[in-house]
Amino acid sequence: MKRITAIPLILIFSFQIALGQTTITPVDTLRKLPRKPWVAASEVVGINMLVWGFNYFVSDAPFAQINLNTMKTNLSTLPVWDTDKFSTNLVAHPYHGSLYFNAARSNGMNFWESIPFTFGGSLMWEYFMENELPSVNDLFATTFGGVELGEITFRLSDLVLDNRATGFPRVVREVSGGILSPIRAFNRIITGEAWKYKPYKGNVFVHRPVGFSFHVGPRFLAEQENSRHGEFSTNVGLLFSYGDPYEQDSYAPYEYFRINAVLDFFSNQPICSQVNALGILWGKNVWNSGSRSLTTGIFQHFDYYDSQLRTKDGKLIAPYRISEAAAVGGGIIYQNKAISQNHLGVRTEFYVNGIALGASLTDYFFVDERDYNLGSGYSIKSYTGINFRDRWNLILSAENYHIFTWKGYDPDLDLSTVDFTRLNVQGDAGNARLGVFTVGLSYHSPQKWNISLSNSYYSRYTKYKYYDNVDYGTSDFTLTWGFSL
């Protein structure tokens, strides 16, 4: 437990230092990182060699036993749909991609220039660093997810790093920046910037308004029809927002984003149970009238929901599980600010996305480590927040994910006898919907602490082409205490 919570605590302390700083770096002190494409490319190769070396020499992983024959086989084969577990494909691979992206970003590449490095790193890994056939879902998840998580972590590291700091605060900042962007930390170490004092902070980006909140408390998750057999967990959440979608006329990539991560401890729940990230790729403030404003844009989305419960007969089941690792779409954000203490402030968001790569829980397809279907589809999301007197907040949200799986398998096939390394399918033919409906009420004190009560309902309906359809409902209640910066 200590090892798991150490990273969030370091980041909280670091952000508290960074966000508590009132001085804004002038534009003329912004630092443009030296442009080193060949160094970036060599670091991408080095990342792959380092990860492969760990798999080969430390983990003794069978897939790391590579040679010229395995490379030749991979190069002569089209990508397939692999059978790795849910968290590996939908969290670990996007994080791996974020390292490639940060290698480019920290060597002077801009947002768009860093994308080919991310895709190139994924290609190298799939074709040369494993003896398994290259995976089409890994190429999507590593590239799209890596771009989003990479830009977010790179910008977050830019907030905490400060070349003017000395002593213990400098150590905390450098360690935090290294946790957020390990490759940037590596470059700062080899160039000596990690300990050099300079009379300016050294931001790469123009100052943006930021917000950070942390909460912890009990969460009770249960099947809708069997609430007596639910279970409690200790719920820990981190929410970070960057930029203001109303302060500018137009927006470059990720000048506005937010990321929410939820962890569950001391239960059968997966530790990482939820991740939601949203970043603007292009945006424009199209209407302002007094306290009201409207912004529209193109947004990149990354969403991940995972769960696990122990049923009354002792079995562990996953009532819902869904992800959109590669999703882009349009959205609008409306705000009516409170103009007096007794005035209600309202904020509404609406998004429609196309999902290039998604995943959903299956009830039938269990092969190797796969217990989910892959596919593509769309998602629709709406959020409404009502603020009263800058103290009380009522939040209503509705999300609908619809994933279609078209590359299925013969329903007469006995999956227990199949060579999964040659079973190139997305899963069960059909489609899955997951609706996530949340209502929450919170009180925010003048001292920055808050208390919140929320209820979420997860509605899963999976329609199978060859099997019985499944309709499943799960709900949770969460009571948390936290603080905001």
pLDDT tens digits, one per residue of 73-118? 999 989 999 999 999 999 999 999 999 999 999 999 999 999 999 9
Interior angle at CA 159, CA 353 and CA 120, nearest 5: 55
Class of residue 28 by CB neighbours under 10 A (exposed 0-12, middle 13-18, buried 19+): exposed
Q: Kindly report, residue by residue over 131-163, the tens digit of the pLDDT.
A: 999 999 999 999 999 999 999 999 999 999 999
Which pLDDT value is given to residue 313? 77
The pLDDT of residue 28 is above 50? no
Which pLDDT value is given to residue 46? 97
Structure letter (DSSP) for residue 135:
B
- Distance in angstroms (rounded) separating the CA atoms of residues 60 and 327: 35
The pLDDT of residue 23 is above 70? no
Q: Kindly report, residue by residue over 181-199, the tens digit of the pLDDT.
A: 999 999 999 999 999 999 8
Note the Cα 481 to chain centre separation in Å: 23
Average pLDDT score over residue span 30-57? 94
Q: Using 50, 70 and 90 to split pLDDT, how confident is the model at 9?
A: low
Torsion angle defined by CA atoms of residues 204, 99, 308 and 465, in that order, rounded to the nearest 10 degrees: 110
Which pLDDT value is given to residue 25? 44
Q: Kindly report, residue by residue over 294-341, the tens digit of the pLDDT.
A: 999 999 999 999 999 887 777 888 999 999 999 999 999 999 987 666
The pLDDT of residue 342 is above 70? no
Which pLDDT value is given to residue 63? 93
Average pLDDT score over residue span 163-167? 93
The pLDDT of residue 19 is above 60? no
371 versus 418: the higher-pLDDT residue is 371
Which pLDDT value is given to residue 12? 58
Which pLDDT value is given to residue 6? 53
Is residue 241 helix, strand or coil?
A: strand
The pLDDT of residue 2 is above 60? no
Q: Could you tell me the pTM of the whole model?
A: 0.92
Structure letter (DSSP) for residue 416:
G
Which pLDDT value is given to residue 22? 38
Average pLDDT score over residue span 114-127? 98
Average pLDDT score over residue span 445-463? 96
Q: Kindly report, residue by residue over 233-263, the tens digit of the pLDDT.
A: 999 999 999 999 988 889 999 999 999 999 9
Find out whether 137 and 262 touch, Cβ atoms under 8 Å.
no
Only one residue has tokens 């895709």, namely 119
Contacts 24+ apart (CB under 8 A), 52-58: 52/129
Q: Nearest CA to 442 among 455, 433, 431, 429? A: 455
Q: Kindly report, residue by residue over 391-431, the tens digit of the pLDDT.
A: 999 999 999 999 999 999 988 888 888 877 778 999 999 99
Average pLDDT, the chain: 91
Which backbone phi and psi does 102 adopt, to 5 degrees?
-70, -25
Find out whether 366 and 316 touch, Cβ atoms under 8 Å.
no
Q: What share of the chain is helix, strand, coil (3-state, %, to 5)?
A: 30, 40, 30
Which pLDDT value is given to residue 20? 54
Which pLDDT value is given to residue 412? 86
Pull the structure tokens for residue 123: 């290609």
Task: Identify the sign of the CA torsion 174, 177, 179, 184.
Answer: negative
Q: Using 50, 70 and 90 to split pLDDT, how confident is the model at 124?
A: very high
Q: Nearest CA to 354 among 394, 311, 301, 310? A: 301
Is residue 195 helix, strand or coil?
A: coil
Find out whether 323 and 358 touch, Cβ atoms under 8 Å.
yes
The pLDDT of residue 1 is above 80? no
Find out whether 209 and 243 touch, Cβ atoms under 8 Å.
yes
